[in-house]
A = this chain, B = another copy of it.
């Protein structure tokens, strides 16, 4: 099954305008997600905050698109996935992570993970490490050009990963036909926390 990447008829400047419109709203929402976890406000204050949240939703909901956000690109090749769970600019579930290509085969991401990404007390959830590694490794496997899907992912948890600033490193370690082999790590205040090996598949429809 081939997913639908939608080409849209927008200039880069028009995409910039949309990012400037919706990005700050999602950023503010991330701060509110954090406050909702950590507040000790009483019933009355929480009721007022809830009314504010519902007011914001009532403003935004009438113009919502159907379904999901999707992946879009323009004629110039610029692409975005604003609803993506790992990198989505408009998605308060995403930290959001930004993956940088240091070279065709090497990637890096620096991410701040606050209280909303907790698993064991004070530590990043092991599954959040898996989410971010999976995404970064997929981007790594793409080598900036090809579409890939996760085939197999193996994660070895070697150290706790305290909440806060973390760094992910990814690199292509080989390829074989439509398979791309990728390695990656996520590192925090107590050293390398997870080592990952992935096999990513270039779908037959794309080659």
Contact = CB atoms under 8 A, between A and B. Distances in A.
Interface of A: 1, 3-6, 21-22, 24-26, 28-29, 31-33, 35-43, 45-46, 48-50, 52-57, 59-65, 67-71, 81-86, 88, 90-93, 114-123, 125-128, 130-135, 138, 149-157, 160, 163, 190
A183 B123 CA distance: 24
B3 A120 contact: yes
Contacts of A93: 33, 92-93, 116-117
Contacts of A156: 151-152
B40 A53 contact: no
Contact of A153 (B70, B125, B155): B155
Given A25-B53, A32-B60, A56-B52, A157 B151 contact: yes
Contacts of A130: 127, 130-131, 134, 153, 155
B22 A26 contact: no
A119 B97 CA distance: 13
A38 B53 contact: no
Given A69-B115, A122-B4, A152-B156, A35 B50 contact: no
